[in-house]
Chain A
Amino acid sequence: MGVATRRVGLHEDTAATVIGLAIVAMALAVTWWACPAERPASREKWPKGWPTPLSRTIDKPQTWSDSPLASFRDKQGKPVAVPILLGGAWVVAVAVAGASLGGRPVARMLPGAAALAVLAALAYLLSAQQVIHFYNLEYPLWALMIGVLLGNVVGVPPWLERALAGEFLIKTGLVVFGAEVLVGRLLELGLPGLLTAWVVTPIVLVTTYWCGVHIMKIPSKSLCMVISADMSVCGVSAAIATGAACRAKKEELSLAIGLSLLFTVIMMVAMPPAIGWLGLDPIVGGAWIGGTIDATGAVVAAGESLGKEAGEVAATVKMIQNSMIGIIAFAVAVYWAGWVDHSGGPRRGSLLAEAWRRFPRFILGFLAASIACSWLFSLSPAHALWVDGTTTGFTSRLRGWLFCSGFVCMGLQTNFRELAPVLASGRPLVLYVGGQCLNLVLTLAMASLTFGWLFRKAVEP
């Protein structure tokens, strides 16, 4: 009789939290160790924060127009093939660490993890094509497409299937992402910015969700939540965070992201001429764009086409909205655990105890990273540059790789047949369009009130 062995490992949420927080702590430590000797508190000298040596260990394919080979050189012509290769190696390292902490055999999933990193690099390469890049069709779309194509046309071999840990990679990416969600950024545009981003966004989110569930009777509450969040907050990143908080299905998250990217392109192209046609003040127009277009890059692109000032206001309003992700993901997780999710069987004990039992614990890791980095950021201008350098130079890139490989996994495991009845009804599209119309009207009203009238100074003659 053989001896039965049982591998004991951490829960996926706990492993994602431990690994994510360890990465953030390591990145902050390395950037601190490499603190610049010259003017470390000068934003003029270091506009994107202190340079971190870790930025040399990770990058992604650069924009290319005719030959994909051009994506292995940056704007200055410097080769970036090694940092791209190392970016894939980070994905493998995180996957291995996750398997190890989760008590799964590491050796058997290594070839699959390496293949996953290659597929993520391919998704990045496709998204870096000039036309795709400048029209904001972001990498999640191509990562999902590659996964869906491979999964449905060729099939997933067992050696690759063993490495498919999409949810774990996305959760770890979200914990790392917490370092970028800085509460101090909320105050960047004072009360007008707060009112534009913080009054309209929750109203639109809650109203759209309520309409989806109660009026349009969409059967999946999590689909309503993910569509409402990506439309009202900030597109793909909000969809990922709230989708994880309300345990949305892969197919639902894919659908919400697809809708968001489609309408982002339309609004990026249509809003600047519409603002010109309406004769809006550029500051008000910028605030309107910042509060309504989903993706940050598209906001800047649309805002800048109205002028430099409008572009700056649009980007800053969007950044304030970006900073809401932590609070919204936490609120959604609490609401879901307490009132919506009954998947864990009948309620045991008090509502609070039950909510805690069902709560997605990695959200606490996400909040811990956000609170710690927000606190460090607030200490002094030098500390702010330390945090900015760490996030812009390393954690945002690693988070991108983890999301990208997570989306490849999701594509490989997606079964769109499950969504067919809902898709055929067209209700998710109607929900998105209806919510976005409400968003456009309320944000225009609030931007006109705050930036155009209430807090507008007379310009000195």
Chain B
Amino acid sequence: MTPSAPLRLALVAAAIGAVWGVALPWLGRCPMIVRHVTAMESRDVNPAAMYYTELDRLPLRPSWIEDRVVLWP
């Protein structure tokens, strides 16, 4: 017998709750993940940015680059 729609919804919500409420917080305490997150946070990096306007710092031409690379030969 197929469960009713409210029951199916409750099951989906419980699955999402288990993954996001228990599994991911637990994973977030693993040393490898902690190192990655700490490194990103300390450098103010937003790895989830889809486009450059979503970055915490706009990627403008680095001040040192003209000393190292010929930009317009």
Q: A and B: real partners?
A: yes
Question: Which residues of A pack against B, CB within 8 Å?
Answer: 43, 47-48, 65-66, 68, 126-127, 129-139, 149-150, 153-155, 177, 180, 185, 188-193, 234-237, 268, 283, 295-298, 300-301, 304-305, 309, 311-313, 315-316, 318-319, 322, 388, 391-392, 396, 400, 451, 455-457, 459-460
Q: Which residues of B lie under 8 Å from residue A392 when comparing CB positions?
A: 53-54, 58
Question: What is the total of A-B residue contacts with beta carbons within 8 Å?
Answer: 165
- Smallest distance from the beta carbon of B59 to chain A beta carbons, Å? 3
* Contacting pair B47 A136 (CB below 8 A): yes
Give Cα A283–Cα B66 distance, bound, in whole angstroms: 12
Beta-carbon contacts under 8 Å, B25-46 to A: 25, 27-28, 33, 36-37, 39-40, 43, 45-46
* Contacting pair B40 A301 (CB below 8 A): yes
Give Cα A236–Cα B43 distance, bound, in whole angstroms: 24
* Contacting pair B51 A457 (CB below 8 A): no
* Contacting pair B47 A316 (CB below 8 A): no
Q: Which residues of B lie under 8 Å from residue A296 when comparing CB positions?
A: 49-52, 54-55
Of all chain A residues, the one with the shortest Cβ separation from B43 is A304
* Also in contact, A297 and B55, with CB within 8 A (given A68-B20, A129-B20): yes
Give Cα A80–Cα B57 distance, bound, in whole angstroms: 21
Q: Which residues of A lie under 8 Å from residue B58 when comparing CB positions?
A: 47-48, 388, 392
Question: Which residues of B pack against A, CB within 8 Å?
Answer: 5, 8-9, 11-12, 16, 20-21, 24-25, 27-28, 33, 36-37, 39-40, 43, 45-55, 57-62, 64-65, 67-73
Give Cα A457–Cα B36 distance, bound, in whole angstroms: 34
Q: Which residues of B lie under 8 Å from residue A138 when comparing CB positions?
A: 48, 50
* Also in contact, A455 and B45, with CB within 8 A (given A48-B58, A154-B8, A313-B62): no
* Contacting pair B39 A316 (CB below 8 A): no
- Smallest distance from the beta carbon of A38 to chain B beta carbons, Å? 20
* Contacting pair A304 B45 (CB below 8 A): yes
- Smallest distance from the beta carbon of A127 to chain B beta carbons, Å? 7
